[in-house]
C-alpha cells in the first residue's frame, strides 16, 4: 500500500474513532449539563449552552420531592437481588462447570431459554400473587422478580468463571489433602472471586435499571426508574434530567470500576 493511502487510511480510522466516541459521550455530557443547569438558562431559547449551574435541581428532586426514598429503594432492591440470586445460581453455575451429568445440556438450554424470556409474562401474574401473599409494594417482592430475571445470567456467568479455573489446580488440591468442599473454598472460590464480583456488579446494574416489573409491583415504594416513569414525567424538565443523572451515575461508576472483568466476561480480549 502506498504511503499516501496508508496515511489516508490511518486518518479515516482515527476520524471514525473520534466520531464514535463523540456519538456516545456527547448525549451523556449533555444530560449531565442539563441536570445541573440553571432552569432559567434551560428555558432561555437563545442560550444553547447553559452558563449558570446549580445543584438545586438535584437537591430539590432528592429532598423536596422525596426522590431519595426511591434511590434508597433501588439500592435495597438491587442488593437484595444479588442476595437472592447468588446463593441459588452460584451452586448451579458450579455444577454446570465442573460436573458432567445426564441432563446437563438440557439444563443449560433451559437456562439460556429463560434468559430470553419476556419478563412481563411473569411480572403481571406476580403482581396479583403478591397482593394475596402481602408482598405487594415491597422491595423484597421486586427483588424476587428481579432475581428471576437475573438468575440465568448468574448461572451462566458463574459457570464460565468456574470453568475458567484450570482443573489441575483443583486436582492438586485433592491430592495434597483437601476434600471436595475444601477445594472449592480454598482454591476455586478465591480464584473465582474477581469474576464473581463482576457478575455481582452486572446483576446490580440489571436490577438498578429495570423499569417494567418494578413499576407494576410497586405503588408507594417505587424504585427510581419506576418513579421516573410515573411521577417525574409530569415534573418540569430540569427535574427529569436531574433524575436521569442520579440513575446514570452509580451504574457508570460501578461499571467503570469493573470494566476489565466485564469485558473479559463477554469474551472480548483486550490487547
Partner 1 sequence: MKPSSFFSLIKKGAEKRVLISKLTPYLLLIPTIIYITVLIGYPLAQGVILAFQDSHSHSLSLINFETLVKDPHFWEALKFTFLLAGIIIPIQVSLAIAVSLLLYTRFKGSSLVLYVFIIPLTLSDVSAALMWYNILTGNGYLNKLLMALGLIEKPLRFFGYAYRYMEVLAIVLAEVWRATAIVFVILFAGLQMIGRDYIEAADVFGATTFQKLRHVILPMLKPSLQVALVTRTLFALQVFGTVWILAGRDVPILAGEAFYWQTQILNYNVASAYALVIGVISILLGWLYFKFLKPEYLAGGGL
Partner 2 sequence: MTVVRLENLTKRFGRVVAVDHCNLTIRDGEFMVLLGPSGCGKTTTLRLIVGLETPDEGRVYFDDEDVTYLPPKDRNVSMVFQSYAVWPHMKVYDNIAFPLKIKKRSQDEIKRRVKWASKLLRIENLLDRYPDQLSGGQRQRVAVARAIVIEPRVLLLDEPLSNLDALLRVLMRAELKKLQRELGVTTIYVTHDQVEAMTLADRVAVMNEGKFMQVGRPREVYEKPENLFVAGFIGSPRMNFFDAVFSRGVLNAESFKLSLLPWQTSLLEGYEGRTVKVGIRPECIYPPNLAPRAAKLECIDGTIDFVEPLGSDTILHVRVGDITLVVKVPGAYEAKIGSSLRIYLDVEKLHVFDPASEKAVF
Does the protein bind partner 1 through residue 8 (CB under 8 A)?
Answer: no
Partner whose binding site includes residue 178, from partner 1, partner 2, none (CB under 5 to 8 Å by kind): partner 2
What does each C-alpha distance from 69 to 8, 15, 143, 211 come to in angstroms? 54, 44, 16, 16
CB of 33 to partner 2, least distance (A): 44
- CB of 28 or CB of 193, closer to partner 1: 28
Q: Which of residues 51-90 bind partner 1 (CB under 8 A)?
A: 87-89
> Alpha-carbon dihedral of residues 208, 210, 212, 214, nearest 10 degrees?
-30
| Residues written for the chain | 271
Residue 175 contacts which entry, partner 2, partner 1, none (Cβ below 5-8 A, type-dependent): partner 2
Please report how the helices 104-115 and 67-98 are oriented relative to each other, as an axis angle in degrees rounded to 10: 160
Query: Cβ contacts of residue 74 below 8 Å, gap of 6+?
Result: 207, 208, 223, 224, 225
Contacting partner 1 (CB under 8 A), which of 11, 30, 63, 174?
30
Report 199-238 residues binding partner 1 (CB under 8 A).
Answer: 205, 208-212, 215-216, 225, 228-229, 233, 237
- Would you say the C-alpha torsion 117, 122, 123, 124 has a positive or negative sign? positive
Question: Judged by CB, which is closer to partner 1: 54, or 107?
Answer: 107
Binding-site size, partner 1 (CB under 8 A): 92
- 181 in contact with partner 2 (CB under 8 A): no
Of 198, 182, 256, 222, which Cα lies nearest the Cα of 75?
Answer: 222
Establish if 234 lies at the interface with partner 2 (CB under 8 A). no
On the 0-12 / 13-18 / 19+ scale of CB atoms within 10 A, 46 is exposed
Q: Which of 8, 10, 52, 55 binds partner 1 (CB under 8 A)?
A: 10
Counting contacts by CB under 8 A, is residue 182 touching partner 1?
no
248 forms part of the interface with partner 1 (CB under 8 A): yes
Cα 156 to Cα 195: distance, rounded to the nearest angstrom: 12
Bridge partners, residue 158, by sequence: none
CB of 194 to partner 2, least distance (A): 10
Q: Which is nearer to partner 2, 34 or 188 (CB)?
A: 188
- Binding test (CB under 8 A) with partner 1, winner from 72, 79, 107, 194: 107
Q: Which of 148, 158, 188, 221 binds partner 1 (CB under 8 A)?
A: 148
- Per rule CB under 8 A, is residue 190 in the interface with partner 2? yes
Burial of 263 (0-12, 13-18, 19+ CB in 10 A): middle
Amino acid at each position: 500500500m502506498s504511503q499516501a493511502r496508508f496515511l489516508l487510511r490511518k486518518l479515516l480510522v482515527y476520524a471514525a474513532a473520534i466520531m464514535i466516541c463523540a456519538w456516545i459521550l456527547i448525549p451523556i455530557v449533555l444530560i449531565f449539563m442539563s441536570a445541573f443547569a440553571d432552569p432559567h438558562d434551560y428555558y432561555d431559547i437563545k442560550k444553547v449552552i447553559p452558563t449558570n449551574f446549580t445543584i438545586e435541581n438535584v437537591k430539590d428532586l432528592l429532598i423536596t420531592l422525596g426522590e431519595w426514598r426511591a434511590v434508597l429503594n433501588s439500592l435495597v432492591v438491587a442488593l437484595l437481588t444479588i442476595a437472592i440470586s447468588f446463593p441459588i445460581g452460584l451452586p448451579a453455575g458450579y455444577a454446570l462447570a465442573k460436573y458432567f451429568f445426564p441432563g446437563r445440556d438440557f439444563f443449560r438450554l433451559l437456562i439460556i431459554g429463560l434468559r430470553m424470556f419476556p419478563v412481563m409474562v411473569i411480572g403481571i401474574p406476580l403482581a396479583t400473587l403478591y397482593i394475596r401473599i402481602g408482598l405487594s409494594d415491597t422491595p423484597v417482592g421486586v427483588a424476587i422478580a428481579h432475581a428471576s430475571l437475573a438468575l440465568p445470567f448468574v448461572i451462566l456467568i458463574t459457570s464460565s468463571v468456574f470453568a475458567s479455573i484450570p482443573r489441575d489446580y483443583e486436582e492438586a488440591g485433592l491430592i495434597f489433602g483437601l476434600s471436595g468442599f475444601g477445594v472449592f473454598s480454598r482454591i476455586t472460590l478465591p480464584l473465582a472471586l474477581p469474576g464473581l464480583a463482576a457478575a455481582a456488579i452486572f446483576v446490580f446494574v440489571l436490577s438498578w435499571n429495570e423499569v417494567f416489573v418494578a413499576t407494576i409491583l410497586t405503588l408507594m415504594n417505587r424504585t427510581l426508574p419506576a418513579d421516573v416513569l410515573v411521577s417525574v414525567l409530569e415534573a418540569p424538565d430540569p427535574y427529569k434530567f436531574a433524575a436521569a443523572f442520579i440513575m446514570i451515575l452509580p451504574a457508570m461508576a460501578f461499571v467503570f470500576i469493573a470494566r476489565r472483568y466485564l469485558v473479559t466476561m463477554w469474551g472480548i480480549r483486550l490487547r
